């Protein structure tokens, strides 16, 4: 059968031990910095180096996650983190931020890079674009069914797919709920899990969990994923306890090896009302939802001692074949091999037997004392001169030396430090002097929202791709239009067909809401501008995206206004300064699952504090957006943004409301009523 990698999470050293001894082929971990699981124990610099050695002793690969969004103030520290990874000999980096990619390519091009699931890769063009950028592997979105995963596996790049663990309600890389509610950014590794709190679509916010999904478990599909061409099966859980890592790794190892595994034990150690395979099988809906209840917590107590036994001893990973020759004149020679490496040791300590000569059986008995090592005894070939006695202590000593040497040879063979050229560290461009008042843009959900606006006040107009025909029919200027592509799709062919039609109508600019759209724009000869979904948070990332062909960039709304204003870029930059910000991009409808279908839709969720979060339904496109409960208003604060443009982001507003908002920004009026200033002044951790 096709070789496939079982990839286990390691939030700390005990979890690392659990993964190694339970059957992992590779592990992923983070250090104290730039890890998307910042609240895990994580590894110090010295622990990282030790972890690499311990893993390579097992023949297990180590991938380091440097997969958070980085700020300008952290770019120097980022370079040092990448240098540490090179020195430690890690086998690859899991990354999200384009600044990391640019630094790796400049300073250590031999370091493999994997495109994190935070990059929202889920389509053919997204995978191909990652391949063009130099990624050797892409971690695809958890929301994909098996047939789409199979298609992506044919594109000439390794595909890594999640196979067990927590399911976020939001598509990875597109969740801003934790940041907006508590200033703890999921894109910075500090998600507070706000989605696990009570939310209700039926006005029962204290006992409904409309944003909480069950954990995924695809153990029974492990070989289907292997046959589909997946290169690596990824277990989620760097925040979980070592017993969880052991249970999940052991179950997946057993499944891949065609052995039975204990589903009840797997569920007991951690689950949210059981497991779901809804995304992989395409069976979405209410059965996918679940929360962590008291019974889930208490059930773990009974299985923890049993699970600790899974990793109490070294796993027998290699077969040790041994040859021995012994004579009184030549002494003793022991040759041991693990199939790849060999160790040879000699000893003169042999003698004529006085009572009982050494037999092959007694030699095997001593060689088989492999105890807490990664070896089990294989073939033994012994040529021993008649009447000879070999002390057991000598055999034991040579066995220990041989095992230690084989370990060291394997570690040495796998641990390849990468050269890091500190002189090549890329630097951002200097920040040019911009005009004090940024140009106004509007982005609408429907063309009818433009009906009462004076578009002379708007430099550009961003409309959904599916509204292109209506925009032209209404007589609006096409030269001002930017088409925003769907943020998620299961049918990229339909998007391409609609875009080709829009191009025939005269539209020539698209907003790239994920990286797939950059390749689409290039292939169709369209101008591309970057949307907020690219999560651009630093000057180096801005430079990298400009080099990738983007002509303008909308920066992340998770930054402070002062941070936005300091970002340098060779192309114009802007930010969203008005609207109900999209806090989640979901494939599952959180309303339908609770109220029983579209006919009972309430169009919003309510949290335990009574705040109302609108749901923007894009069912025709295959996704939904959770909007913020408060509208961001900054009409009197535009001088705080040293940017080329700012965007008014209209979602549920009527044409009358949209007109009033545009005028208030044009006149810099002081906002009225309840509103939020977003994260532009309080920032994120």
- CATH classification at residue 469: 3.20.20.70
pTM metric for this prediction: 0.95
pLDDT 10s digits, 359-380: 999 999 999 999 999 999 999 9
Q: Which of 384, 407, 409 is nearest to 394 (CA)?
A: 384
Task: Output DSSP code: residue 287.
Answer: G
**pLDDT value at 40 more than 70:** no
Summarize the confidence of residues 260-267 as an average pLDDT.
89
Summarize the confidence of residues 298-314 as an average pLDDT.
89
Same domain, 365 and 340: yes
Percent of the chain with pLDDT over 70: 98
359 within domain boundaries: yes
Same domain, 117 and 239: yes
Cα separations in angstroms, 426 against 287, 422, 490: 48, 9, 36
Q: Tell me, what's the pLDDT at 190? A: 84
19 within domain boundaries: yes
604 within domain boundaries: no
Same domain, 390 and 447: no
Same domain, 555 and 638: yes
Q: Tell me, what's the pLDDT at 434? A: 66
592 within domain boundaries: no
Q: Tell me, what's the pLDDT at 205? A: 65
**pLDDT value at 91 more than 80:** yes
Summarize the confidence of residues 647-675 as an average pLDDT.
96
Enumerate residues 6+ apart whose C-beta is below 8 A from 422: 79, 83, 107
- Identify the domain boundary among 264, 293, 313: 313
Summarize the confidence of residues 494-506 as an average pLDDT.
98
Same domain, 183 and 99: yes
For residue 20, give the CATH number of its domain. Answer: 3.20.20.380
How many separate domains does the chain show?
Answer: 3
Same domain, 465 and 407: no
CB 160, CB 61: distance < 8 Å: no
**pLDDT value at 155 more than 70:** yes
Enumerate residues 6+ apart whose C-beta is below 8 A from 491: 622
pLDDT 10s digits, 48-89: 999 999 999 999 999 999 999 999 999 999 999 999 999 999
672 within domain boundaries: no
Same domain, 458 and 499: yes
**pLDDT value at 272 more than 90:** no
Same domain, 376 and 468: no
- Identify the domain boundary among 313, 341, 368: 313
362 within domain boundaries: yes
Percent of the chain with pLDDT over 90: 86
Helices (H), 333-440: 360-367, 392-414
- Identify the domain boundary among 264, 296, 313: 313
**pLDDT value at 436 more than 70:** no
Same domain, 454 and 583: yes
682 within domain boundaries: no
Same domain, 448 and 406: no
Domain holding 531, by residue range, is 440-587+613-666
pLDDT 10s digits, 467-477: 999 999 999 99
Residue with tokens 């492990």, as numbered in its chain:
222
CB 364, CB 380: distance < 8 Å: yes
Looking at per-residue pLDDT, the higher value among 191 and 8 belongs to 8
Same domain, 45 and 183: yes
CA distance 580 to 267: 38
Same domain, 33 and 154: yes
- Residue 433: pLDDT band (50, 70, 90) is low
684 within domain boundaries: no
């Amino acid at each position: 059968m096709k070789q496939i990698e079982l990839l286990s999470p390691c939030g700390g050293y005990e979890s690392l031990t659990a993964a190694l001894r339970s059957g992992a082929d590779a592990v992923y971990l983070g250090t104290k910095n730039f890890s998307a699981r910042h609240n895990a124990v994580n590894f110090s610099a010295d622990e990282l180096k030790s972890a690499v050695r311990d893993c390579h002793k097992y023949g297990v690969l180590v991938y380091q996650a440097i997969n958070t969004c980085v700020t300008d103030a952290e770019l120097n520290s980022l370079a040092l983190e990448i240098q540490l990874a090179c020195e430690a000999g890690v086998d690859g980096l899991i990354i999200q931020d384009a600044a990391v990619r640019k630094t790796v390519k400049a300073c250590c091009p031999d370091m493999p890079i994997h495109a994190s699931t935070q990059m929202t890769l889920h389509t053919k063009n997204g995978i191909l674009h990652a391949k063009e950028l130099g990624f050797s592997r892409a971690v695809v979105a958890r929301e994909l069914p098996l047939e789409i995963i199979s298609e992506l596996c044919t594109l000439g790049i390794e595909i890594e797919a999640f196979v067990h663990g927590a399911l976020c309600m939001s598509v990875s890389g597109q969740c801003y709920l934790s940041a907006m509610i508590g200033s703890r950014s999921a894109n910075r590794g500090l998600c507070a899990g706000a989605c696990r709190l009570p939310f209700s679509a039926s006005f029962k916010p204290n006992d409904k969990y409309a944003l909480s999904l069950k954990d995924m478990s695809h153990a029974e599909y492990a070989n289907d994923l292997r046959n589909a061409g997946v290169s690596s099966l990824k277990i989620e859980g760097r925040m979980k306890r070592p017993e969880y890592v052991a249970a999940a790794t052991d179950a997946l190892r057993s499944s891949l090896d065609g052995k039975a595994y204990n589903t009840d034990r797997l569920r007991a150690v951690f689950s949210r009302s059981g497991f779901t395979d809804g995304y992989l099988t395409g069976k979405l809906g209410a059965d996918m939802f679940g929360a962590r209840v008291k019974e889930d917590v208490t059930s773990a107590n009974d299985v923890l001692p049993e699970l600790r036994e899974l990793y109490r001893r070294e796993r027998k990973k290699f077969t040790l074949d041994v040859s021995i020759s012994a004579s009184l004149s030549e002494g003793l020679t022991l040759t041991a091999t693990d199939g790849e490496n060999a160790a040879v040791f000699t000893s003169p300590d042999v003698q004529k037997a006085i009572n009982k000569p050494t037999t092959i059986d007694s030699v095997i008995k001593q060689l088989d004392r492999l105890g807490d090592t990664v070896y089990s005894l294989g073939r033994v070939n012994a040529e021993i001169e008649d009447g000879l006695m070999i002390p057991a202590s000598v055999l034991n000593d040579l066995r220990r030396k041989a095992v230690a040497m084989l370990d060291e040879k394997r570690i040495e063979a796998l641990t390849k430090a990468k050269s890091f050229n500190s002189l090549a560290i890329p630097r951002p461009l200097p920040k040019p002097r911009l005009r004090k008042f940024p140009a106004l843009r509007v982005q609408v959900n429907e063309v009818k929202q433009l009906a009462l606006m004076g578009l002379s006040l708007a430099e550009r107009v961003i409309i959904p791709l599916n509204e292109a025909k209506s925009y032209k029919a209404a007589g609006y200027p096409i030269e001002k239009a930017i088409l925003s592509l769907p943020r998620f799709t299961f049918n990229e062919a339909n998007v391409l067909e609609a875009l080709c039609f829009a191009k025939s109508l005269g539209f020539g600019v698209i907003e790239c809401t994920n990286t797939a759209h950059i390749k689409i724009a290039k292939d169709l000869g369209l101008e591309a501008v970057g949307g907020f979904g690219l999560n651009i948070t630093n000057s180096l990332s801005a430079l990298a995206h400009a080099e990738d062909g983007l002509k303008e960039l909308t920066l992340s709304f998770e930054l402070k206004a002062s941070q936005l204003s300091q970002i340098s870029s060779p192309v114009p930059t802007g930010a969203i300064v008005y609207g109900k910000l999209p806090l989640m991009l979901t494939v599952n409808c959180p309303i339908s699952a609770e109220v029983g279908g579209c006919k009972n839709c309430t169009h919003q969720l309510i949290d335990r504090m009574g705040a109302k979060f609108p749901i923007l339904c894009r069912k025709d496109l295959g996704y939904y957006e959770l909007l913020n409960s408060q509208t961001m208003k900054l009409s009197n604060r535009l001088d705080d943004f040293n940017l080329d443009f700012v965007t008014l982001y209209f979602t549920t507003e009527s044409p009358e409301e949209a007109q009033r908002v545009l005028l208030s920004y044009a006149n810099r009026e002081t906002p009225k009523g309840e509103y939020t200033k977003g994260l532009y002044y309080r920032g994120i951790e």
